[in-house]
Every structure is written in structure tokens, then in C-alpha cells.
């Protein structure tokens, strides 16, 4: 009876975790859209106006390496950042403060991410992102992104599509 109860509890816990298997996330990605409750963070030359290129996870150590490009003074620069797992599907990355990156949903074609950015002076901002593997994203995925953005109390008018922006890496 105890085994049955334990199995049921574990089953319920696992069913509540939509992201399973970090290795599925490793690979090439393209940023599609970003949103923030602080639009300056994702605006022109903002610290989070970035174009994702690649993510690589080391499951054993719990580290992630992000490769992206960002504009600085109108010039696109290739950058990278390391993160460490702090919870299931949550990674801490130190960049423009401390960031908690949570993988909310991951499919073969897209991923939905929330970011909580904490900076000096107790400034906290919420961000959401949708990244894609190919050159398109379906309407259902975009609707899920908009819903996630609303859940983070970010106004829909703060969503920007950066998929078509030109940011060649130098």
C-alpha cells in the first residue's frame, strides 16, 4: 500500500513538470520574440536585446553555455554566458545582475522561457522569450508565448519580434 501511495505521489509530481530532459534543449536556436515589464531592457542596445544562436548543456555538472549576439553601439558582437542549475529546469546566469532562467516549455520546434532579472538597488524585472529551431513558428506556439507573457504581468504591447532583425555576427 505504501508503495502504491509513493508511486502515485511521484507520478503526480512528475506530471506537473512540463520540461523533461535538458539534453533536448541543447543545439541551435533562433530568438523570435522577447517581452519585458521594463521595455528598456529589450529595446535598441538594451542589455537583453539578444539573438540566441546555440545552447549547450552539461547534464552531469549542471552547467549551460549560451551563445548569442547582441548589438553594442550599432555593432553586432558574439557573446556567451555560463549558467548553473539551481532547481529543476531553472538556471542562474550572472549577466546584468542575477538572472533565473526557467525553461517553461520545450518542443522540437520552439521553447518558452521566463527570466527574472535582479539588479543592484533591489530592481527586479520579468522577461519572457520564445526561441525557435527553424525559420518559422506556428500560431499556437505564439499564443502560448503571449499567454506566458500575460502570466508574468508583462503587457502584450511590450512584446517585440526580433526574428527579422539583422544582427550579423562579426
Q: Where are the domains of the chain?
A: 21-161
pLDDT at 18: 40
pLDDT at 83: 94
> CATH number of the domain at 21-161, please?
2.40.128.20
Distance of alpha carbon 121 from the chain centroid: 24
Q: Among positive and negative, which fits the CA dihedral 89, 93, 98, 103?
A: negative
pLDDT at 75: 81
pLDDT at 27: 93
pLDDT at 170: 42
Report how far residue 85's alpha carbon sits from residue 19's, in angstroms, rounded to the nearest whole number: 14
Low-confidence ranges of the chain (pLDDT < 70): 1-23, 164-166, 168-170
Residue 44 burial (10 A CB sphere; 0-12, 13-18, 19+)? exposed
Contact of 38 with 154, CB cutoff 8 Å: no
Q: What angle do CA 51, 152, 163 make, to 5 degrees?
A: 20
Cell, residue 95: 549577466
Amino acid at each position: 500500500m505504501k508503495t502504491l501511495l509513493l508511486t502515485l505521489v511521484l507520478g503526480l509530481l512528475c506530471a506537473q513538470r512540463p520540461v523533461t530532459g535538458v539534453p533536448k534543449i541543447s543545439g541551435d536556436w533562433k530568438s523570435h520574440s522577447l517581452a519585458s515589464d521594463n521595455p528598456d531592457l529589450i529595446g535598441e542596445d538594451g542589455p537583453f536585446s539578444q539573438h540566441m544562436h546555440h545552447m549547450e548543456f552539461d547534464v552531469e555538472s549542471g552547467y549551460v553555455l549560451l551563445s548569442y549576439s547582441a548589438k553594442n553601439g550599432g555593432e553586432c558582437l558574439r557573446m556567451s554566458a555560463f549558467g548553473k542549475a539551481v532547481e529543476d529546469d531553472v538556471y542562474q546566469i550572472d549577466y546584468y545582475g542575477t538572472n533565473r532562467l526557467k525553461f517553461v516549455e520545450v518542443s522540437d520546434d520552439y521553447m518558452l522561457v521566463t527570466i527574472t532579472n535582479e539588479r543592484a538597488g533591489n530592481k527586479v524585472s520579468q522577461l519572457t522569450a520564445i526561441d525557435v529551431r527553424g525559420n518559422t513558428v506556428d500560431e499556437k506556439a505564439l499564443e502560448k508565448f503571449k499567454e506566458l507573457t500575460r502570466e508574468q504581468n508583462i503587457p502584450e504591447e511590450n512584446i517585440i519580434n526580433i526574428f527579422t532583425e539583422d544582427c550579423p555576427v562579426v
